[in-house]
Structure 1
Amino acid sequence: MTIPVLREFWIKGRNRSVRAESKRKASFPSKHDDEVTNNTEGWVINIEEKLNQVSSFKKEDSWLDHCIFRVPRNLRVLEPKAYIPQLVSIGPYHRGKARLKEMEKHKWRLLQHVLERTGLQVKLLLEAMSELEETARRCYANQFEYMDSGEFVEMMLLDACFVLELLNASINGLIYCGYSWGDPIFSSRGVLPCIQRDMLMLENQLPLFVLDRLFALTCDPNQTESVSQLALQFFDSIIPECRNLHHGLTSSTYRGLHLLHVVRQCLLPSSKATFQREDAKEHQPQLVGHCVTMLRDSGVKFQKKNSGKFMDIEFKKGVLHIPPLVIHDSTKSIFLNLMAFEQCYSHCSNHVTSYIRFMDGIINSSRDVGYLLDKGIIDHGLGSEEEVAFLFNTLCKDIAFDINDCYLSSVYADVNRYFDRKWHWWEASLMHQYLSNPWAILSLLAAILLLVFTLTQTFYTVFSYYKIK
């Protein structure tokens, strides 16, 4: 036999042996095969039990209604105090915490005060809250099965009443709402700012429709402002940008999710600032990796923009127009919770995250902060410029960000394009070295005049020589 014939004969024989072995195992399964079969059946049962548990997560896409979330662990571990209320619990996430129980007695006191002032029966308010329970539960990312209907409705009533009384008394006055000047909640200078900060934490929210329903039942019939409008006035002391923005806000044209969302919506830049040119879209934008000092060296100028919204940033003809931003002790917590909401809620843009990323890019040191301070772009109440720089450089840690999904992408593209042109560097160097002060200008003019005189003298000397000759 030839070698090819022998190889073919060997392959056929091996295939017959494999088929025979398979038939033998099928007819007489071994102990090992029985063990594998038993293990497989056990695995199937285990997986089927776990799949049956999925029904507890409500397959009807209930997460689409979620708008009040637990802050992701990777963010919480970095700045736990920024996300955890220190004085008052609003909503179910932190209800019953030992450190917050002191405020619970004030909630009951305020509820009693509302009933006495309005003459309403508590049964009416409980029935109104009960009608909203199912919808309100769907707003939270956690199900809170351990809270029965009675406890959840009680929580809604107490917390909503507490929030509304804070808004009413702070805006309309203590006497108007029937409180004394010495009330421990409204008159204490140290308590109210901390409560305001707690009320702007992502985990410390009530659905806005709960506040709206209770407000409609308990407010003065002559009250013309909505809960959202009152909230913007209430938070004006810690977010000055809210000032006067509530006038154009009406319940018929605006629907917020909760108070944190209301504040975020009022801070969003104007449509003009969010507009992206087509040529900017064609170029893949890159983050501005240049601080204020480097941008100034390249010829970029900074100018305070007269806008009530600090995110209205524009770049025109080599000038960065940035609205003023006021920074204080609560700014860090507010920004972190706004960014956490943008990370968790998929139905909103990432405008706050984009703004913080931009400011983080242009601020690297206290020198950068000092220059923005001189220009009126930043005003802070922190200890030093170093603290402001550290604030911006740490806010976006572990925050997901896509430059292509950014309302400032055209600004990034224009600034980087301007920065890369050498002519702007030469022009800026000339301005900084020779035209930065009157004495430098005089020195430059003197040098130019001396050069002109020298050239003139040389010309006449040469001209005289050839004329005589």
Structure 2
Amino acid sequence: MEPGNHLEEFTIIAIPQAWDLEPDKQPECCIYRVPRNLRNLNEDAYTPKEISIGPFHHGKENLKKKEELKLRCVQEKELKIHHCYAKNFHEIIKEDFVKMILLDSIFIIEHLWWTKQYPEEDNIHESISDILHDLILLENQVPFSVLEELYNFAYLDLPNHHNEDKSLPQLIGIVRFGEPKKVKHLTDFQRCFLLPQNRKCGRSFERVPCATKLSEAGVEFKVSKSENGGLLDIQFRKSALLEICPFLNMSWLLSCFPCFKCLEIMQPVLELKSFVIRDATESVVRNLMALEQCHYPWEAYVCNYIVLLDHLINTEADVDLLVEKNIIVNWLGNNKAVAILINHLCQQIVEGNHSCYFDLSEKIKDHYSSRWSKLMASFTNLYFKDFWRGTATVVGIMVLFFAFWNFLRPFVFHT
């Protein structure tokens, strides 16, 4: 280098890419190159002669003949996947379609695995919730069979220290009733989790009275304590004594004085599971209902449930009652918004003249249409609407009784 020349000489060094380096051994590493000292003993013993699987022998000329066989198998699998969608995706080339399905499936499995293993990660909880919501949208699905095959391949052979079920359904946390039902995808899985135990379908029922009117007619709304069944399980219970003697219904008294617990058996009960309504509820329910309209028109249980709920909720007052009874858990903050939401969900929904709540609706209507129920509804509304009105009524009855007794007493004692 000449004096005064401030340019420096540089030596160019080629840095190998990470792909070119031998990887560090990871715990899941299980596929190896046969060590050279072993391979030299018998090259043929370690070299495929018909078909290459994986990257080590990929592209070798003598093994290319069987690539057609692999392609045929892939095409058959691809065709099965294509048949799961109600549309032909000609705009997506074959290689991209397979790559897309594989990439999306692996992402779903890894995401579900991550949320199961690390539920305490609060810093990513919001992002996880958003993604999980998208994973149950009807148009955002891959066939469940693909997910299950990939999951079984990747995870079922992992050490099981607690003898727990490590299947994909168990990972998702939606295993109920020991059902052998083969689900189609994650939207279908979500529906399966909600299904009622009694799936007997009758005719589509006519409108039943709203919640406030049923309450006035003596029907008590209660949250189901049963661990069996899903959200769609609803029961209407009435004691045998009340069936014989409907005038013994004490709901008018319990509406004002709930401390009389011993009288609870003397009133009919409509028992439902708590329904939590949050921001994402409308989207989730609409996708489940859309699935039933397309794939389960004769078993539209979610649609049946929303139709029944639409009958029970006419106004904000009905929601007020159901929220008070904890039948509806309102995370929207506005009961009127819940009423509007439920009433709008049924638009453009067809039940196919079948409903799993036909028998239930008949029982409700029989009770509500009886003369005693109508009389008690008027009686309750006029005299036992709340604690103060009920107290005033009881005091008035006592004053009337004592006044009548004072009137009769001279005649009774004189006699």
Instruction: Report the TM-score when normalising by structure 1.
Output: 0.61
**Partner of 2:236: helix, strand, or coil?**
strand
1:95-244 matches, within 5 Å, as: 118-119=28-29, 132-173=77-118, 187-219=123-155, 221=157, 222=159, 224-232=165-173
Is residue 369 of structure 2 the alignment partner of residue 420 of structure 1? yes
Consecutive unaligned residues of structure 2, counting only runs of 5 or more, are: 1-24, 32-52, 56-69, 239-267
> 1:257 aligns to what?
184
Aligned equivalents of 1:385, 1:391: Cα separation in 2? 10
How far is 1:262 from its partner? Answer: 0.9
Aligned equivalents of 1:187, 1:134: Cα separation in 2? 41
CA offsets per residue over residues 384-411 of structure 1, 9 Å max, x none? 1111111101011111124x40000011
Aligned equivalents of 1:264, 1:340: Cα separation in 2? 11
> 1:266 aligns to what?
193
> 1:312 aligns to what?
233
How far is 1:227 from its partner? Answer: 1.6
**Partner of 2:141: helix, strand, or coil?**
coil
Aligned equivalents of 1:428, 1:452: Cα separation in 2? 30
Consecutive unaligned residues of structure 1, counting only runs of 5 or more, are: 1-114, 176-180, 233-244, 465-469
**Partner of 2:125: helix, strand, or coil?**
coil
> 1:451 aligns to what?
404
Distance 1:217 1:117, change over 3 A: farther
> 1:63 aligns to what?
none
Q: Between Structure 1 and Structure 2, how many residues are aligned?
A: 316
> 1:442 aligns to what?
395
How far is 1:323 from its partner? Answer: 1.3
How far is 1:380 from its partner? Answer: 1.6
Residue 367 of structure 2 aligns to which amino acid in structure 1?
Y
Answer whether contact 1:299 1:425 (CA < 8 A) is retained.
Answer: no
Instruction: Report the TM-score when normalising by structure 2.
Output: 0.68
How far is 1:249 from its partner? Answer: 4.7
Q: Pick from 347, 353, 357: which aligns with 2:303? A: 353
CA offsets per residue over residues 248-278 of structure 1, 9 Å max, x none? 557xx3421101101101210112xx457xx
**Partner of 1:356: helix, strand, or coil?**
helix
CA offsets per residue over residues 332-377 of structure 1, 9 Å max, x none? 1110000000000147610000000011111122211111111111
Residue 444 of structure 1 aligns to which amino acid in structure 2?
I
Distance 1:311 1:248, change over 3 A: closer
Same amino acid, percent of matched pairs: 28
Residue 263 of structure 1 aligns to which amino acid in structure 2?
Q
**Partner of 2:82: helix, strand, or coil?**
helix
Aligned equivalents of 2:277, 2:333: Cα separation in 1? 11
Aligned equivalents of 2:375, 2:297: Cα separation in 1? 46
CA offsets per residue over residues 398-455 of structure 1, 9 Å max, x none? 11124x4000001111111222122112223334544553623233233233234434
Residue 374 of structure 2 aligns to which amino acid in structure 1?
W
Distance 1:167 1:323, change over 3 A: same
Greater shift in the superposed pair: 297-306 or 202-211 = 297-306
Aligned equivalents of 1:284, 1:208: Cα separation in 2? 32
Q: Pick from 287, 292, 295: which aligns with 2:207? A: 287
**Partner of 2:103: helix, strand, or coil?**
helix
Residue 359 of structure 2 aligns to which amino acid in structure 1?
S
> 1:298 aligns to what?
217
Answer whether contact 1:356 1:396 (CA < 8 A) is retained.
Answer: yes
**Partner of 1:189: helix, strand, or coil?**
helix
Answer whether contact 2:204 2:351 (CA < 8 A) is retained.
Answer: no
Distance 1:433 1:449, change over 3 A: farther
Aligned equivalents of 2:233, 2:175: Cα separation in 1? 18
